[in-house]
Amino acid sequence: MIEIAYTRNEFFELKKKWQEKNSPQSQIGFVPTMGNLHEGHLSLLEKSLTENDLSVMSIFVNPKQFGPNEDFTKYPRTLDEDISKITRLFFEVSNRQSGKEKSIIVFAPQTDSEIYPEGFSTTISVGPVTQILCGKYRPTHFDGVTTVVYCLFKIVGAHNAYFGQKDYQQCVVLQKMINDLSLEIKMHIFPIIRNSEGLALSSRNQYLSESDKKDALFLHRTLTGLKHQFEEHNLEIAMKLTSPMLEEYLKDSRFDYLEILDGNTLSPINERTQKIAILGVLRLSGTRLLDNEVFDLYAR
């Protein structure tokens, strides 16, 4: 069954009705989004559907995570199309898993006060990891993300939460919030979904011209070229080889940043590093395109 809640009270009522019909052991999965759904978002919902009895997908363009001169107003809002896509996926997965009854609640608050009631003045701020990489260019962005995700976690009350590796720094920041505040929710991170040419899907790709879309492929090629050094060489040699490569790439002023860091902490690589994150942002016609490669060091 698919149901839509436009207010938090409608959500609480739908969840209560679902709980009355299901055992206390039933699992709830949660996929927070800003809507304008593409295959990346849907891959997360599909995971949630297969692993939980009830899946909640929120669709809320969160004003707190946009800076003053960013694209909050023009961010694409396509709720009807989103609901059609969710419905199609729901029937596909239900047919595949016949026998196990699944439910979805789409939580699509229509006003900001459904998330931030009048007088709301709390900010959840995780600290230093929010001020590096994207945080240098968007200093209040991650506080906006952690604040909305915390509020949504509290409203939804899920056991599992699903996020995309595409926003890798966001995943690290949210995992830290979960750990620091002992939140009882398990975070699951899933791979980046790309188009056939390798461009990571993003709602913001529609701001790009056809020629920008071609130029955008350079970002993924850069990241895989750097990753290749770690596949071919040990850590020490790979770091030596990639350091001049990074310097050369960064001469291209379209890069906001391009960095190789410890994948668990986003701090510089050290002797305890087991996971590498190569992260980059390329700016094309004013649109910031994020991409990354994250891999275990000793698995190759």
Subset of residues 144 to 173 that bind ligand AMP, contact rule: CB under 6 A: 163-164, 166-167
Strand 2-5: give its sheet, edge to edge: 2-5, 103-107, 54-59, 28-33, 160-164, 186-190
Choices 5-13, 41-49, 69-77, 246-254; region in contact with ligand AMP by CB under 6 A:
41-49
User: Rounded to the nearest whole angstrom, what is the least distance from the CB of residue 118 to ligand AMP in the complex?
Assistant: 25
x-or-dash string of contact with ligand AMP, 111-150, rule CB under 6 A: ----------------------------------------
Q: Which run of H or of E encompasses 142?
A: helix 141-156
CA dist., res. 48 & res. 260, Å (int): 31
Is residue 58 involved in binding ligand AMP (CB under 6 A)? no
The residue among 28 and 148 lying less far from ligand AMP, judged by its C-beta, is 148
Cα atoms in the Cβ-side hemisphere of radius 13 Å centred on 189: 16
Q: Which of 5, 149, 192, 266 touches ligand AMP by CB under 6 A? A: 192
Is residue 33 involved in binding ligand AMP (CB under 6 A)? yes
CA dist., res. 197 & res. 183, Å (int): 39
| Cβ(55)–Cβ(103) below 8 Å | yes
Is residue 201 involved in binding ligand AMP (CB under 6 A)? yes
Q: Say which residue the tokens 């979904």 belong to.
A: 193
Among candidate residues 38, 41, 188, 233, the one labeled active-site is 41
Is residue 202 involved in binding ligand AMP (CB under 6 A)? yes
Cα atoms in the Cβ-side hemisphere of radius 13 Å centred on 49: 28
Is residue 64 involved in binding ligand AMP (CB under 6 A)? no
User: Rounded to the nearest whole angstrom, what is the least distance from the CB of residue 193 to ligand AMP in the complex?
Assistant: 4
Q: Which of 29, 40, 109, 280 touches ligand AMP by CB under 6 A? A: 40
Q: Which of 204, 209, 123 is nearest to 166 (CA)?
A: 204
Is residue 200 involved in binding ligand AMP (CB under 6 A)? yes
Cα atoms in the Cβ-side hemisphere of radius 13 Å centred on 67: 11
> How many Å separate Cα 23 from the centre of its chain?
30
The residue among 34 and 278 lying less far from ligand AMP, judged by its C-beta, is 34
User: Rounded to the nearest whole angstrom, what is the least distance from the CB of residue 43 to ligand AMP in the complex?
Assistant: 6
Q: Which of 44, 56, 173, 226 touches ligand AMP by CB under 6 A? A: 44
CA distances from 82 to 88, 174, 177, 237, 289 (A): 10, 25, 29, 47, 22
Residue 41 annotated in active site:
yes
Positions annotated as catalytic residues are 41
Q: Which residues bind ligand AMP (CB under 6 A)?
A: 33-34, 40-41, 43-44, 163-164, 166-167, 192-193, 200-203
